[in-house]
Chains A and B, each alone.
Chain A
Amino acid sequence: METEVIDLSELMTEETIDLEMDATTKEEVISQLVDLLVQKGMVESKAQFIQDVYEREQGGATGIGNGIAIPHGKSDSVRQTAIAIGRTKTAVAWETLDDEPISTFILFAVSDKDKNNLHLKLLAKIAGSLANDYVCDTVKHANSPKKVIETLQEGSQ
């Protein structure tokens, strides 16, 4: 059995989570989430990474239903694979699998340079944990970034 303890701190911190975003459009959501990663030095070129995120958006809906979207981009403008999470005060128009309005966003920034496979494995586990309704609901309603991290951490075990 695997007994490896999953530690998400290399991918996300409380500083890359903003539960009170004032964004009202898809463009603003993506821009503000990317800013969080730029400020932490995870993303080098904001413009280039945003372009990569939009390229993926064109490939199909990143709204996973249940009021959550997981935009993502793989790019060499990402210094280290990381996650930014945001919640908007009002729902934002976004392509999704159901008709639920979306106000919770989990942005995956995947580095082409980061050869640390562990980061990608963690990302995969977090994506998988979103198949769990409890994890989704808690991330949607948690009242602190700390609680969001704890929930994803538990959900990924």
Chain B
Amino acid sequence: MKIIGVAACTAGVAHTYLAKEKLLNAAKEAGHQVKIETQGTIGTEDELTNQEIIEADAVIIAADISISGRDRFKEKKVIQIPTHIAMKSPKALMKKIEDELNATT
């Protein structure tokens, strides 16, 4: 499966990057391709390309604030959660995404 996402938190300093790594680890462990964009104090890093968005099966928005460029995902299956869910239970989140995608196909 191809999973993409965006991480962003209030201060844009710590939780954003911790959430990103947790999501990357959990997705890779479950055998998915994954890329997570971060929107933090240093700006946007690992920005998602149009191609990646088109090809993605699911989009995870792990954010405590409103992210920029949300309309990029309007045609996609989007799972929106606060960063602490990504940090606390990334594996359960992957499972939920897999179940939802399997149910719709």
Which A residues are closer than 8 A to B by beta carbons?
Answer: 56, 59-62, 64-65, 70, 72-74, 97-98, 108, 110, 117, 120-121, 123-125, 127-132
Contacts and interface: CB of A to CB of B under 8 A. Distances in A.
Contacts of A108: 13-14
Given A97-B84, A121-B42, A124-B38, A132 B21 contact: yes
Question: How many B residues touch the partner, as a band?
Answer: 20 to 34
Given A110-B13, A127-B18, A128-B20, A65 B42 contact: no
Nearest to A61: B84
Looking at B16, B18, B87, the one whose CB has the most chain A CB atoms below 10 A away is: B18
Contacts of B88: 65, 97-98
Nearest to A97: B88
Contacts of A132: 21, 25
Chain A binding surface, main DSSP class: mixed
A144 B57 CA distance: 46
A132 B38 CA distance: 18
Looking at B17, B45, B82, the one whose CB has the most chain A CB atoms below 10 A away is: B17
A123 B14 CA distance: 7
A59 B25 CA distance: 26
- Which 8 A-B pairs give the minimum distances between C-beta atoms? A131-B21, A127-B14, A128-B21, A127-B17, A128-B17, A124-B17, A97-B88, A59-B10
